[in-house]
C-alpha cells in the first residue's frame, strides 16, 4: 500500500504551507539585517634581523640599471623588477658575492586579471650560504604574456616554467622545451587562470 | 646543466624503450621514455601529469580548514608533514600563537610520519634492487606506526588531524607510554633493517657509484631533502630555517659524500635514527595544556601573501598562500619536493646502464600524487 503514505505527506505539506502564509500575513516584515562592510586588514611586515640587513644592503648596493623597487611581504624581502631587467637582476642576485642566491625554490604565477589586468610572477630565491631569502616579482600585462626564461640561470626553473606555460599560458622566451607537462597535448585553455570555467568544465 | 642536443650522439641511439605509465617500479603513474645505445642510456624523457587533479586550483574554492584535507592527498605517505606546512603558512598570515602542547604533539607525529615514510622507501627500494625480504620487515614496522596514528587521529592514512591554530583533538592518556613502547621497538628494528640491507654485497654492487650528482649540480637542479644531503650539502630546513619548535631539539643531519644511489639510501636510514632522537626529547618535554587557539567564526587571514618552507620526508616542501581577506585563499601554490627532484633524473640517468634505471628512479623517492598535484 504505497499510495497512502504519499497522500498523507501531501496533505501535511500543504497544511504547513497554509499556516505559514497566515502567520506571515499577521506579522510585520522582519527587517533585513544590514551587512557591515568588513574592513580587510593587511598582513603586517615583520622582518627579522637578517632580512632587514638584506633589505638595506639592496637599497644601497643594487645597480641602478636594474631599477628595482624593494619592499616586503610578511617576513620576506621582495624586489620588483621590470621584465626587461629580469635576467640582469637574477644574474646580479645569483653572482653578487654578498648575496649568492644559488637556490631557486619556487616559481609562481598569480592571476590578477580581474584586479589590475596583470599576471604576477614570483621567484622565490634562497641563499644556502647566507641563509637568507628573497622574492623577485615581475608584473606582466595580460595582453603581452611573454617573459625571458631564467632556466639557464637556475635549472630548477625548467619544469616550473613549463608548468606555468601549461596552466597560465605565460610564454617563456628562450625556454628549451615548452611542451605540455601536466596537461595532455590536445588540451585547450589555461585551467590555472581565474577566468577558466573550472566547475563547468567537462572532459567527457 | 641542460642536456644539450649536441652532447647526445643521435647516430648511436638505436632503440627507444617505454617504461610506464603502468609499471610497478615507477612508484605511481609515471612514464619514462628511454633511448638506449646497446645497454647504455643515451637520453631520457620523463612524462608526468597522469595524476593531475588541479589541487592548487581546487584550493581557491575551498575554505582554509577544508584545504587541509587536500594537502593530505598530495604526498600520501607523509601526510602530517603536508598538513603542517599548510597550517604553518596560514598561521603565519594570521600571526597566530600555537599552544605548546599542540606544537609538541605535531612534532612527535610528524617525525613518526617521517620514519614511516622512510620505512616505506627502505622496503620499496630493496624491492627495486631485487630483495624481497626488506619489504616485509619495513611494512611490518610501518604498520605499527600507522596503528598509533589510527589511535590518535582516527585514520591510518588521510589523517586530517592538524588544524589551523592547533590540532583536532587531544591525544589519549596513554599516548606517552604507547610512543615510548613504539620507539623502543623502532630503534631495534631500524638497526635490524640496517643490518639486513645496507652493507649487503649484492646491494652495494647495484647502488654504489650509480646516478651520481655532485653538490653543485644538486643545488643548481634544486634538489632538496635526503637527495640533496646525499651529495654532501648540509641543508636541513628544520635546522637552517627553523620552523615550529624544531630549534629546541638536539639532532644531527646525516649527509653523504658522493651523491650516488647508496648515499641517498643511507642518508634516509640514518635520518630515521635522528627522528627518534627528536621524538624522545619531545616526549620528555611534552607539556599539559590547551591544544588549539580558538578562532572566532571562519578562518579569515588578513590580506597579504606568505611563503613557508618546511622539511617534509622528501625534501623542501614550500607553501605559497595569497590571501585577499576572504574565507578562501586567492592563490595557493605548493613547491612539491618530488616534482623538483624528479627533474634531476635526466642527468642522473645519462650514461648509466638500462638495468640501473629503476634503482636511480627509486633512490629519489618520488610520490606521484605530489608531482602531479
∠ Cα B226 B227 B228 (to 5°)? 90
pLDDT at A7 over 50: no
Most B CBs within 10 Å: which of A156, A157, A170, A179, as the mutation test of the B interface?
Answer: A156
pLDDT at A11 over 50: no
Whether the ω angle into residue B299 lies within 30 degrees of 0, i.e. cis, is no
pTM of the model: 0.85
- Asked if B320 lies within 8 A of A124 by C-beta distance, the reply is yes
Phi, psi of B77 (to 5 degrees): -105, -30
Tens-digit pLDDT string for chain B (373 aa)? 445 555 556 666 678 888 878 777 777 788 888 888 888 888 888 888 888 888 888 888 888 888 999 998 888 888 899 999 999 999 988 888 899 999 999 999 999 999 999 999 999 888 888 888 888 999 998 999 999 999 988 888 888 899 888 888 888 888 889 899 999 999 999 998 888 888 888 888 888 888 888 888 888 888 988 989 998 888 888 888 888 888 888 888 998 888 889 999 999 999 999 999 999 999 998 888 888 888 888 888 888 889 999 999 988 899 999 988 888 899 999 999 999 998 888 888 888 888 888 888 888 888 888 888 8
The strand pairing partners of A14, in sequence order, are none
Residue B309: its chain A contacts at CB < 8 A?
105, 126, 133
Residue ranges of the domains in chain B? 5-372
Q: What letter does residue A65 receive in the DSSP assignment?
A: G
- Asked if B325 lies within 8 A of A158 by C-beta distance, the reply is no
Strands of A118-126's sheet in order across: A69-73, A76-80, A133-141, A118-126, A103-112
Residues A90-131 pLDDT 10s: 888 888 888 888 889 889 999 888 888 889 999 999 888 888
Q: Cα(B65)–Cα(B71) distance, rounded to whole angstroms?
A: 11
Nearest-by-Cβ selection for A40 from B49, B222, B303: B303
- Asked if B343 lies within 8 A of A126 by C-beta distance, the reply is no
Q: Cα(A126)–Cα(A107) distance, rounded to whole angstroms?
A: 12
What is the structure's pLDDT at B18? 87
Residue ranges of the domains in chain A? 49-143
What is the structure's pLDDT at B299? 84
Residue B52: its chain A contacts at CB < 8 A?
182-183
Grid cell listed for B266:
643511507
Whether A152 and B342 have beta carbons less than 8 Å apart is answered as no
- Asked if A181 lies within 8 A of B339 by C-beta distance, the reply is no
What is the structure's pLDDT at B4? 53
Residue A199: its chain B contacts at CB < 8 A?
61
DSSP B217-285: HHHHTT--THHHHTTT----HHHHT--TTGGGS-------SS-SHHHHHHHHHHHHHHHHHHHHHHHHH
Residues 6+ apart with CB under 8 A from A28: none
What is the pLDDT confidence band of residue A9, given thresholds at 50, 70 and 90?
very low
Whether B119 and B272 have beta carbons less than 8 Å apart is answered as yes
User: Could you tell me if residue B124 is left (phi over 0), alpha (psi between -120 and 50 degrees) or otherwise beta?
Assistant: alpha
Q: Cα(B336)–Cα(B370) distance, rounded to whole angstroms?
A: 6
What is the structure's pLDDT at A182? 87
What is the structure's pLDDT at B333? 92
Q: Cα(B358)–Cα(B349) distance, rounded to whole angstroms?
A: 10
Q: What letter does residue B353 receive in the DSSP assignment?
A: B
CATH superfamily ID and name for B5-372: Cytochrome-c3 Hydrogenase, chain B (1.10.645.10)
Residues A49-89 pLDDT 10s: 888 888 788 778 777 777 777 777 778 888 888 888 888 88
Q: Cα(B36)–Cα(A73) distance, rounded to whole angstroms?
A: 49
The strand pairing partners of B320, in sequence order, are B307, B333
Residues 6+ apart with CB under 8 A from B8: B42, B43
- Asked if B304 lies within 8 A of A43 by C-beta distance, the reply is yes
Domain range A49-143, its CATH number among 3.40.630.30, 3.40.640.10, 3.40.1800.10, 3.30.460.80 = 3.30.460.80
Measured in angstroms, the CA of B151 and the nearest CA of chain A are apart by 36
Nearest to B56 by CA among A106, A151, A191: A191
Most B CBs within 10 Å: which of A43, A172, A189, A199, as the mutation test of the B interface?
Answer: A43
Q: Cα(B80)–Cα(B311) distance, rounded to whole angstroms?
A: 12
- Asked if B306 lies within 8 A of A128 by C-beta distance, the reply is no
Q: Cα(A9)–Cα(B207) distance, rounded to whole angstroms?
A: 73
What is the structure's pLDDT at A13? 44
Alpha-carbon torsion A80, A86, A88, A90, what sign?
positive
pLDDT at A8 over 50: no
Residues A150-200 pLDDT 10s: 888 888 889 999 999 988 989 988 888 888 888 888 888 888 888 887 777
Pairing of strands A133-141, A118-126: antiparallel
Nearest-by-Cβ selection for A182 from B52, B307, B335: B52
Measured in angstroms, the CA of A184 and the nearest CA of chain B are apart by 8
What is the structure's pLDDT at B279? 92
Amino acid at each position: 500500500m504505497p499510495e497512502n503514505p504519499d497522500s498523507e505527506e501531501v496533505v501535511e505539506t500543504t497544511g504547513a504551507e497554509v499556516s505559514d502564509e497566515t502567520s506571515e500575513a499577521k506579522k510585520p516584515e522582519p527587517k533585513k539585517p544590514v551587512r557591515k562592510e568588513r574592513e580587510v586588514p593587511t598582513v603586517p611586515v615583520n622582518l627579522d634581523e637578517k632580512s632587514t640587513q638584506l633589505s638595506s644592503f639592496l637599497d644601497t648596493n643594487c645597480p641602478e640599471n636594474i631599477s628595482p623597487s624593494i619592499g616586503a611581504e610578511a617576513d620576506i624581502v621582495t624586489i620588483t623588477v621590470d621584465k626587461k631587467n629580469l635576467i640582469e637582476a637574477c644574474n646580479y642576485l645569483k653572482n653578487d658575492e654578498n648575496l649568492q642566491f644559488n637556490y631557486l625554490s619556487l616559481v609562481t604565477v598569480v592571476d590578477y586579471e580581474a584586479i589590475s589586468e596583470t599576471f604576477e610572477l614570483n621567484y622565490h630565491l634562497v641563499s644556502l650560504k647566507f641563509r637568507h631569502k628573497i622574492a623577485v616579482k615581475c608584473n606582466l600585462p595580460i595582453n603581452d604574456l611573454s617573459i625571458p626564461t631564467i632556466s639557464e640561470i637556475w635549472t630548477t626553473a625548467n619544469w616550473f616554467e613549463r608548468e606555468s606555460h601549461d596552466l597560465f599560458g605565460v610564454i617563456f622566451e628562450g625556454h628549451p622545451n615548452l611542451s605540455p607537462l601536466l596537461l595532455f597535448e590536445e588540451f585547450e585553455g589555461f585551467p590555472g587562470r581565474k577566468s577558466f570555467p573550472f566547475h563547468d568544465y567537462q572532459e567527457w | 646543466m641542460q642536456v644539450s642536443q649536441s652532447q647526445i650522439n643521435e647516430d648511436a641511439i638505436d632503440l627507444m624503450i617505454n617504461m610506464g605509465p603502468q609499471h610497478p617500479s615507477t612508484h605511481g603513474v609515471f612514464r619514462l621514455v628511454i633511448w638506449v645505445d646497446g645497454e647504455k642510456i643515451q637520453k631520457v624523457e620523463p612524462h608526468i601529469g597522469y595524476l593531475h587533479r588541479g589541487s592548487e586550483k581546487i584550493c581557491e574554492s575551498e575554505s582554509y580548514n577544508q584545504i587541509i584535507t587536500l594537502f593530505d592527498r598530495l604526498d600520501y605517505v607523509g601526510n602530517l608533514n603536508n598538513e603542517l606546512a599548510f597550517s604553518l603558512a596560514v598561521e603565519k598570515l594570521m600571526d597566530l600563537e600555537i599552544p605548546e602542547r599542540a606544537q609538541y604533539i605535531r612534532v612527535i607525529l610528524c617525525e613518526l610520519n617521517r620514519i614511516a615514510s622512510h620505512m616505506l622507501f627502505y622496503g620499496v627500494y630493496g624491492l627495486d634492487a631485487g630483495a624481497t625480504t626488506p619489504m616485509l620487515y619495513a611494512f611490518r614496522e610501518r604498520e605499527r606506526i600507522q596503528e598509533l596514528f589510527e589511535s590518535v587521529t582516527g585514520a591510518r592514512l588521510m589523517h586530517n588531524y592538524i588544524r589551523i591554530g592547533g590540532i583536532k583533538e587531544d591525544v589519549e592518556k596513554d599516548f606517552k607510554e604507547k610512543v615510548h613502547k613504539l620507539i623502543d621497538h623502532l630503534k631495534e628494528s631500524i638497526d635490524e633493517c640496517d643490518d639486513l640491507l645496507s652493507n649487503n654485497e649484492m646491494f652495494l654492487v647495484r647502488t654504489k657509484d650509480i646516478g651520481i650528482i655532485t653538490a653543485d649540480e644538486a643545488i643548481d637542479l634544486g634538489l632538496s631533502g635526503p637527495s640533496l644531503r646525499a651529495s654532501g650539502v648540509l641543508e636541513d630546513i628544520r635546522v637552517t630555517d627553523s620552523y615550529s619548535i624544531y630549534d629546541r631539539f638536539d639532532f644531527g643531519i646525516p649527509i653523504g659524500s658522493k651523491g650516488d644511489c647508496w648515499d641517498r639510501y643511507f642518508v634516509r636510514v640514518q635520518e630515521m635514527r635522528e627522528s627518534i632522537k627528536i621524538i624522545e626529547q619531545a616526549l620528555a618535554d611534552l607539556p599539559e595544556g590547551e591544544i588549539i587557539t580558538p578562532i572566532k567564526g571562519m578562518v579569515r587571514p588578513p590580506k597579504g601573501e606568505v611563503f613557508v618552507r618546511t622539511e617534509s620526508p622528501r625534501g623542501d616542501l614550500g607553501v605559497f598562500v595569497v590571501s585577499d581577506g576572504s574565507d578562501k585563499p586567492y592563490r595557493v601554490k605548493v613547491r612539491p619536493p618530488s616534482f623538483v627532484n624528479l627533474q634531476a633524473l635526466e642527468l642522473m640517468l645519462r650514461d648509466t646502464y638500462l638495468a640501473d634505471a629503476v634503482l636511480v628512479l627509486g633512490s629519489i623517492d618520488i610520490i606521484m600524487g605530489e608531482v602531479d598535484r
